[in-house]
Amino acid sequence: MEIEETRRKRERAKSKRRQNLLSLALLSPYLIIFVLFTLIPVVMGFAFSFMKYNPYNGETNAFIGLKNYLNIFDFNNPVTKSFWNSFGTMLVFDIVAVPCLMIIPMVLAYFINMHPPGYKIFRAIIYLPSVVSITIVGIIFGNMFAGTKTGLINSWLGTEIHWLAGQPFHGDTLRWLVMLIASIWWQTGTNFIIFSGALRDIPKSLYEACEMDGGKRRHLIRFVTLPNMKSAISICLFNTLIGYLNLYGQPVVLNELDNAGVLVSPMMFIQKYISGVAYASQTGYICACAIIFGLFVMLLSTIERRVMGERRRSRRRTVAAKRYLADRDFLKTGSLREPDFEGGTHDSD
């Protein structure tokens, strides 16, 4: 009996080892890329942020403690000023763009889910722009909103408006507007697909029950649709927020020579100074800026997760899982008691 038990244990251990090896093998392509291109650069960037570091000339490299971080809060420094200004650009754009990129796809998904005539074509049309790169978006919108009379919009309107040449923080919002339109056109499709999936998954019985209780359309949306889409909304909000905190492509591709340096996001700031040879002696400072920016993104993402209640839900799941395990163990010992899930019962086999 004991031998049999030992053999079984050994087999279980062997099978577990094999399973671990297999999962590691399946994970390894991602792990290698993650370690090489994310983990190592992050750790090195963190280390460099405490140094006066020059990637091209090691002779001058030295540990300088927190000096780079203190410089980031020296607001008399014009480079520091432009770093914090870049946060302003990003936040202004995010405050407008993120809600638009949540509401518009949701409304579109809601209507497409009613299956109007030709809805499959509309679905494809809405999703199609998501597959193009930001460079293509720049070419399309750059030509549409070209400031000359030959630009598509100008030729339709018979005007010569300089859509992309304005100074957005100096009374001109046209470039903001074009960037916003381009972003909505480009990225609505991604969230639209997720919302469509979530809408399809809502059981019809819930709508019927609500209607039987005298619910009108607005009640259906408020008490059935939105609560059942909460996970999808949370995922979309998280992805969109992270994406727009890393704002880069739109201001880079949608500008004119006049204002290429006017709308600078933190990513553009970091990219400019990290790749410019003239700034090589302050690479440590730029790394510190990148770390601060990274922390800011993490902070906002955490707030978003908290607000959307992911943490509470996951805690609930943990409680449910613990109960399930306890009940499973209880069942193993021969009891016929059914597992007690939070919020419902479980049909035993």
Partner 1 sequence: MKKTIFCAIALASAMTLAFAGCGGGKDPGPGPGPKPGDTISNPWWTTTGELDMDGDSPVFEDVEITLSTIVNGEDLAGFNQIIAQFNNAYRGKISIEVNSVNQNDYESTVMSQITQNNNPPDLIMTHQKMLKSFVEQKTIQPFDEAMEQSGIEISLSDYAADLAKYASLGYDGYTFSVPIDAQCQVIYYNKQILAKYGGELPTNHEELVELCNTVAAGENIVPIAWNTSLEFFPMYTFLTAVIQNGGDLYDESDYTVHWSEGDNLTAFTNAIKSIRDLVKHTPQLARWDAGAGALSDFLAQKALFFLGMPWNFNSIVESFGAQNGNLSKDAVLSGYIGGTSISNWFALEENENSDKIFGDAHFFAISKSVRDINKKAAICEFVKWFTQTASVGALWAEAGHISGSTVVTNSDEYIENEFVNDYITHFYPDINRFECIGNTPYHADLISSITKIFATTKNNTTAEQDKSAITAAQTELNGIITFF
Q: Is 271 in the site for partner 1 (CB under 8 A)?
A: no
Q: Which of 313, 322, 320 is nearest to 341 (CA)?
A: 320
List 105, 147, 251, 266, residue binding partner 1 (CB under 8 A) = 147
Shortest gap between Cβ of 60 and partner 1 (angstroms)? Answer: 4
268 binds partner 1 (CB under 8 A): no
SS3 of residue 170 by DSSP = coil
CA of 302: how far to CAs of 4, 43, 94, 252, 264, in Å?
A: 50, 21, 16, 28, 25
64 vs 102, beta carbon nearer partner 1: 64
Closer CB to partner 1, 77 or 348, in the complex: 77
Stretch of residues binding partner 1 (CB under 8 A), selected from 42-50, 133-141, 191-199, 240-248: 42-50
What is the DSSP secondary structure assignment for residue 339, as one 8-state letter? P
Query: Restricting to residues 106-145, which ones interact with partner 1 according to CB under 8 A?
Result: none
Q: Which of 185, 193, 248, 256 binds partner 1 (CB under 8 A)?
A: 256
Residue type, 27: L
DSSP assignment letter at 248: -
Rule CB under 8 A: say whether 324 interacts with partner 1.
no
Positive/negative CA dihedral, 147, 151, 154, 159: positive
Q: Report the alpha-carbon distance of residue 282 to residue 294 in Å, rounded.
A: 19
Residue 231 binding partner 1, by CB under 8 A: no
Cα angle vertex 331, ends 330, 332, to 5°?
90
Q: Is 58 in the site for partner 1 (CB under 8 A)?
A: yes
Tokens standing for residue 61: 């490299």
Rg, Å, the chain Cα set: 27
Q: Answer yes or no whether residue 52 interacts with partner 1 by CB under 8 A.
A: yes
From the list 99, 203, 261, 309, which residue makes contact with partner 1 (rule: CB under 8 A)? 261
The one segment of 133-141, 200-208, 244-252, 279-287 that binds partner 1 by CB under 8 A:
279-287
The β-bridge partners of 341 are: 344
Among 40, 95, 299, 303, binds partner 1 (CB under 8 A): 40
CB of residue 162 to partner 1, shortest distance in Å:
7
- Asked if 295 touches partner 1 (CB under 8 A), the answer is no
How long, in residues, is the chain? 349
DSSP bridge partners of 122: none
Q: Which listed residue (148, 205, 333, 345) binds partner 1 by CB under 8 A?
A: 148
154 touching partner 1, by CB under 8 A: no
Which tokens belong to 199? 């809408």
Smaller CB distance to partner 1: residue 53 or 186?
Answer: 53
Q: Which residues pair with 51 in a beta bridge?
A: 63
Axis-axis angle for helices 230-245, 78-112 (nearest 10): 150
Binding part of the chain for partner 1, among 50-58, 115-123, 310-318, 337-345 by CB under 8 A, reads: 50-58
Q: Which is nearer to partner 1, 143 or 348 (CB)?
A: 143
Q: Which helix (H) or strand (E) element contains residue 341? A: strand 340-341
Q: Judged by CB under 8 A, does residue 67 bind partner 1? A: yes
The distance of closest approach from Cβ of residue 61 to partner 1 in the complex, given in angstroms and rounded to an integer, is 4
Of the candidates 227, 198, 196, 195, the residue with the CA atom closest to the CA atom of residue 210 = 227
Judged by beta carbon, residue 225 or residue 282, the one nearer partner 1 is 282
Q: Distance (Å, rounded) from C-alpha 309 to C-alpha 230?
A: 9
Q: Which positions touch partner 1 (CB under 8 A)? A: 40, 43-44, 46-48, 50-64, 67, 77-79, 146-150, 162, 165, 256-261, 275-282
